[in-house]
């Protein structure tokens, strides 16, 4: 392999996981983080969020990673500058590109005749790479610089695995020399020195590299997330039909997933999707389509179904409790999914606030330590369940799946559970003396 020197701007999930994966593959990585707290954590060998396997891998590859607050020193020696900064939603639901352009502002004065590629990893609307190109041509007309779209498909909770061994690598670049540099960057991933725990994920076949136009690469990222979100809204609608007809969504899932054309992933019915990606990216794609003169009706329905699903699922608990007012309810799982400490677009927090607004007395629990002001939070599951009239499982942490529900039920005023992720066995819960409510399940 030819080791490359690269700069990665932004040490969030995408930036940090990519930096570690590329360092494990033998490249020399400069990781730039403006946020002082994050920077200090990284400099002391800690990662600033919960992400399995990432911290130990980060410590293993320290010799190949250099962390800094600014990119002044690293750009000169880097042939690739990867932008992995956030692109949050604007109030109008499109992507806010201010962090991208702030990074470019810092990069421009450092560009010269040495060929460099600006690699856009952040999720950005179609046309952003062309916009960046035009910006660089006007601000640094003499610089030799290419722009490449290189979207990231990793999932939180499995970020390192996704950065090391993605299903595919997508590169949207026009200049052949830029494409060649990106091939040199990614080809060694396959043989990276990795933690033992990840060996099982090392693919036998070469990771496919798809070289497509920058516009297609930008849109492909949104298309992938929209498709996965569509699968979730689809199965949730099937669950709603199950609830109305007496069929069972898990039995239907078992039938669907045996069909290779459908596949088995992202067919878990529940309260809907949350997190920092699906809600933001589905809304952004909807905006991108509208602005280009096309209304993406299917996507609009996916978004609507998702925003209504939580209320629909809560309704059955409301009926069983004969209203929420004055009822003591435990909400289990606040992070948007297990194995993360991320609360962005958290259904747990939204549901706790909704129940409070409807007059319930809410206690919340999560296996990861969290600081919350609006909700009464306890990191002790027993304390959280003591004396409650009902419990809602919002995020399917293993701690809840493997809990001794018979003992926990003894602490509750009423043994009533709404399993918002269909994560528990109804038969076991009934045997433990619970009234069990699921999502589209036949009890
Ligand atoms: C998602 C995509 O899965 C990644 O491929 C993508 O790279 C990432 O967004 C991104 O754009 O950065 P992530 O948000 O980390 O990854 O989490 P997922 O595992 O996809 O889960 C998202 C939400 O969907 C969670 O709230 C989860 O509970 C929900 N979900 C997932 C379901 O309700 N049902 C399912 O069957 C699967």
Dump pLDDT digits (tens) for 172-207: 999 999 999 999 999 999 999 998 888 999 999 999
Q: What is the pLDDT of residue 258?
A: 98
User: Residue 208: what pLDDT?
Assistant: 96
User: How many Å lie between the centroid of ligand 1 and the Cα of residue 324?
Assistant: 30
Q: Once rounded to an integer, what is the mean pLDDT over residues 262-280?
A: 97
Nearest CA, atom 6, ligand 1? 153
Q: State the catalytic residues.
A: 277
Read off the pLDDT of residues 309-326 as tens digits, 9 standing for 90 and up. Answer: 999 999 999 999 999 999
Note whether 150 and 159 are within 8 A (CB).
Answer: no
Instruction: Look up residue 148 and give its two tokens.
Output: 């490449």
* DSSP strand pairing (361-365 vs 5-9): unpaired
Taking 90 as the threshold, does the pLDDT of residue 276 lie above it?
Answer: yes
CB 376 within 8 A of CB 403: no
Q: How confident is the model over 240-265, as pLDDT tens digits? A: 999 999 999 999 999 999 999 999 99
Ligand 1 is surrounded, with C-beta below 6 A, by 123, 152-156, 225, 228, 232, 266-268, 270, 273-275, 277-278, 281, 336-337
What's the pTM?
0.96
Mean model confidence pLDDT for the chain: 97
**pLDDT band at residue 93, thresholds of 50, 70 and 90?**
confident
Q: What is the pLDDT of residues 116-129, one digit of tens each?
A: 999 999 999 999 99
Going from the Cα of 253 to the center of ligand 1, the distance in angstroms, rounded, reads 18
Pocket probe mutation, ligand 1, options 21, 124, 169, 228, max atoms within 8 Å of Cβ: 228
- Across the range 260-271, mean pLDDT stands at 97
**pLDDT score at 53:** 93
Report how far ligand 1's centroid is from the alpha carbon of 225 (Å).
8
Looking at residue 443, its pLDDT comes to 87
Task: Provide the pLDDT confidence category of residue 1 given band limits of 50, 70 and 90.
Answer: confident
Distance from C-alpha of 99 to C-alpha of 97, rounded to nearest angstrom: 6
**SS3 annotation, the chain:** CCCCEEEEECCCHHHHHHHHHHHHCCCEEEEECCCHHHHHHHHCCCCCCCCCCHHHHHHHCHHHEEEECCCHHHHHHCCEEEECCCCCECCCCCECCHHHHHHHHHHHHHCCCCCEEEEECCCCCCCHHHHHHHHHHHHCCCCCEEEEECCCCCCCCCHHHHHHCCCCEEEECCCHHHHHHHHHHHHHHHHCCCCHHHHHHCCCCCCCEEEECHHHHHHHHHHHHHHHHHHHHHHHHHHHHHHHHCCCHHHHHHHHHCCCCCCCCCCCCCCCCCCCCHHHHHHHHHHHHHHCCCCCHHHHHHHHHHHHHHHHHHHHHHHHHCCCCCCEEEEECCCCCCCCCCCCCCHHHHHHHHHHHCCCEEEEECCCCCCCCCCEEECCHHHHHCCCCEEEECCCCHHHHCCCHHHHHHHCCCCEEEECCCCCCHHHHHHCCCEEECCCCCC
As a whole number, mean pLDDT of residues 270-291 equals 96
pLDDT in the model for residue 196: 87
Q: Categorize the per-residue pLDDT at 17 as very low, low, confident or very high, splitting at 50, 70 and 90.
A: very high
The two structure tokens encoding residue 382: 């027993």
Q: Is the pLDDT of residue 96 over 90?
A: yes
Q: In a mutational test of the pocket of ligand 1, which residue from 152, 232, 250 has the highest number of ligand atoms less than 8 Å from its CB?
A: 232
Please tell me the distance between residue 155's alpha carbon and the centre of ligand 1 in angstroms.
Answer: 7
Under 8 Å between Cβ of 242 and 440: yes
- Of 433 and 197, the structure prediction assigns the larger pLDDT to 433
The tokens 């926990």 sit on which residue?
Answer: 408
Return the residue whose CA atom lies nearest to atom 10 of ligand 1: 277
């Amino acid at each position: 392999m030819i080791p490359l020197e690269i700069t990665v701007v932004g040490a969030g999930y995408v930036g940090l996981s990519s930096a570690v994966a590329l360092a494990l593959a033998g490249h020399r990585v400069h990781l730039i983080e403006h946020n002082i707290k994050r920077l200090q954590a990284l400099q002391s060998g800690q990662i600033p969020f919960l992400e399995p396997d990432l911290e130990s891998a980060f410590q293993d590859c320290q010799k190949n990673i250099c962390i800094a607050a600014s990119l002044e020193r690293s750009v000169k020696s880097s042939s690739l500058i990867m932008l992995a900064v956030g692109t949050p939603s604007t109030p109008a639901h499109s992507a806010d590109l201010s962090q991208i352009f702030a990074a470019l502002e810092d990069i421009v004065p450092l560009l010269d005749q040495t060929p460099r590629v600006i690699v856009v990893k952040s999720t950005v609307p179609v046309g952003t790479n062309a916009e960046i190109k035009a910006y660089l041509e006007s601000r640094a007309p003499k610089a030799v610089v290419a722009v490449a779209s290189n979207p990231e498909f990793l999932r939180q909770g499995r970020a390192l695995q996704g950065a090391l061994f993605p299903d595919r690598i997508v590169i949207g670049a026009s200049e052949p020399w830029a494409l060649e540099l990106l091939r040199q960057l990614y080809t060694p991933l396959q043989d990276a020195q990795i933690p033992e725990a990840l060996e099982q994920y090392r693919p036998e076949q070469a990771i496919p590299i798809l070289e497509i136009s920058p516009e297609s690469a930008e849109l492909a990222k949104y298309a992938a997330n929209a498709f996965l979100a569509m699968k979730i809204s689809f199965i949730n609608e099937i669950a709603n039909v199950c609830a109305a007809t007496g069929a069972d969504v898990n039995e239907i899932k078992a039938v669907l997933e045996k069909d290779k054309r459908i596949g088995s992933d992202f067919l878990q019915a529940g309260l809907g999707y949350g997190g920092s990606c699906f809600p933001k990216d589905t809304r952004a794609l909807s905006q991108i389509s509208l602005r280009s003169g096309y209304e993406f009706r299917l996507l609009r329905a996916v978004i609507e179904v998702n925003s209504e699903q939580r209320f629909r699922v809560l309704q059955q608990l409301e009926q069983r409790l004969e209203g929420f007012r004055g009822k003591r309810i435990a909400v289990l799982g606040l992070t948007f999914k297990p194995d993360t400490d991320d609360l962005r677009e958290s259904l747990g927090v939204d549901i706790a606030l909704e129940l409070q607004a409807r007059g319930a007395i809410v206690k919340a629990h999560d296996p990861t330590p969290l600081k919350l002001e609006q909700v009464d939070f306890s990191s002790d599951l027993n304390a959280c369940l003591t004396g409650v009239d009902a419990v809602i499982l919002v995020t399917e942490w293993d701690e809840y799946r493997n809990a001794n529900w018979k003992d926990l039920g003894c602490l509750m005023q009423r043994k009533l559970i709404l399993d918002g992720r269909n994560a528990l066995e109804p038969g076991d819960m009934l045997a433990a003396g619970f009234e069990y409510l699921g999502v589209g399940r036949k009890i």
